[in-house]
Chain A
């Protein structure tokens, strides 16, 4: 049977009601709190007994303190005088226990206790959740701008959706925890004026739920990266994760090492922050250098994958493979999937002796999996190149106009006109919940249109 156990605590630092209740419950089950830290709470086995626990607050304490300060030791001496033994501390939070039947509580004045809690909260939970809220708002705002600028691209990327959800969860956490604290504080102040203590709210279940959701979003981002097929994205993400883990270990390791060396809290704080900033900047620099190197080495060059539709299939011509450059990109999410393919003449063929004016081909297939997004996506594609007012003054049309869908085997067909009565060889085709944009270097024949419909339309494969 193990004599120690460890658990992660989801209680807020100021949630003394539930911290005390939990520790008393653990003691009754034979586990006495021994240590509180960032990696959880540690217990040691004891005979099950009824103990009273008291969560107290020493605002001047810090997680950077090398040891208990004289003030904390004096506080502990006062408490010991009335039978309270110090079990563990974590920053401003101190946990005491008492084996007496009906001990005098450590805190007997609610107003004084409330002030100590608030001073402690200002140095810990309020800063943490304020930062979380700010980070969530900044991330969400940035992603919202991307969503508004390119909604189809954004919604088609699983990683973007998961990251956006994570940002929203951070905002929710920060807002709920901060509001929860200040609402409780308001009630507690009113109660203290009447000489009464106000129980603290239990936010542990909410914290667990948010953590579970964030982990889910993280898993979503990772899966999206793994299945993206983009080697550079995979490499950079992998390196970033490894570096973040090392950074976390280095920062915490620095803090703990300096504590063991009995370095003062202020020096420890400055050194730990310095390590954090320097290693963070170094990480960004190394990742950028790595990304440039990857590009130089051509590691991220797209594969010459099989395209579902090629110019050869449309024109019937058989060109040497090296005459063409082919690229594809693929992204998907539960809401949308988007596949883009390009086939165009390799640059090295544009030489005077053996240059061939080869026909090029571009197409993008957008599968709208969420029906409520269909109209948004279609309208977005139809109006993606709407002319600016100045362009309109010069007579540019830049719009899709309805065309005959029958040759394409489609439900709708739209042809792009850059000038009145001057269409381009560019179409937007609708096949059920599939939108196909195709751009050709030549005017297609009816047979070629049918081939496009067969290969890329509803029954087409990719």
Chain B
């Protein structure tokens, strides 16, 4: 069963929204995500471009300024709510993991 759009965020989607807690332009996000995750998460430039368009169309982010071809975005309330919801989902997953496997168990 395919996931409904943004019902569950992929790791790349999650980090894009996280980066847009404050106003940023797209290329800053490209550098920020690998830095934030110690290289664990990389996002392709094309994927970032497409996801920014999709988030903007869905009202999760909004464009704040445009300097030539550089556009800056920031999270909207809807985007913040979506991020919060996914964060709670991840926390619930982590809690389930700890409950089932225990903190000391590998």
Chain A residues with a Cβ under 8 A of chain B = 54, 56, 70, 73-75, 77-79, 81-82, 84, 104-109, 111-113, 115-116, 189, 193, 195
Contacts and interface: CB of A to CB of B under 8 A. Distances in A.
B104 interface: no
Interface in B40-93: 42-51, 54, 69-71
A266 B42 CA distance: 37
A70 B42 contact: no
Nearest to A115: B50
A75 B46 contact: yes
Contacts of B46: 54, 56, 75, 78-79, 106-107, 113, 116
Interface string B1-29: 01100000010100000000000001100
Contacts of A75: 45-46, 49
B27 A78 contact: yes
Contacts of B10: 109, 111, 195
Contact of A109 (B3, B51, B69): B51
B32 interface: no
Given A104-B42, A106-B46, A189-B2, A78 B12 contact: no
B69 A77 contact: yes
Contacts of A116: 46, 50
Given A75-B46, A77-B69, A108 B27 contact: no
A208 to B, nearest CB: 30
A157 to B, nearest CB: 53
A56 B12 CA distance: 18
A70 B67 CA distance: 12
Contact of B69 (A54, A73, A84, A104): A73
A54 B47 CA distance: 13
25 contacts: A77-B70, A78-B27, A78-B46, A79-B45, A81-B27, A104-B42, A106-B44, A107-B44, A107-B47, A108-B43, A108-B44, A108-B47, A109-B44, A109-B47, A109-B50, A112-B47, A112-B50, A112-B54, A113-B46, A113-B47, A113-B50, A115-B50, A116-B50, A189-B2, A193-B3
A74 B49 contact: yes
Contacts of B30: 78, 81-82
Nearest to B44: A108
A199 to B, nearest CB: 17
In this complex, the member of A56, A81, A107, A112 whose beta carbon has the largest number of chain B beta carbons within 10 angstroms is A112
Contacts of B49: 74-75, 78
A106 B45 CA distance: 5
Contacts of A189: 2
B71 A74 contact: yes
Nearest to B13: A109
Contacts of A79: 45-46
A432 B71 CA distance: 83
Contacts of B27: 77-78, 81
Nearest to B30: A81
Nearest to A77: B69
A325 to B, nearest CB: 75
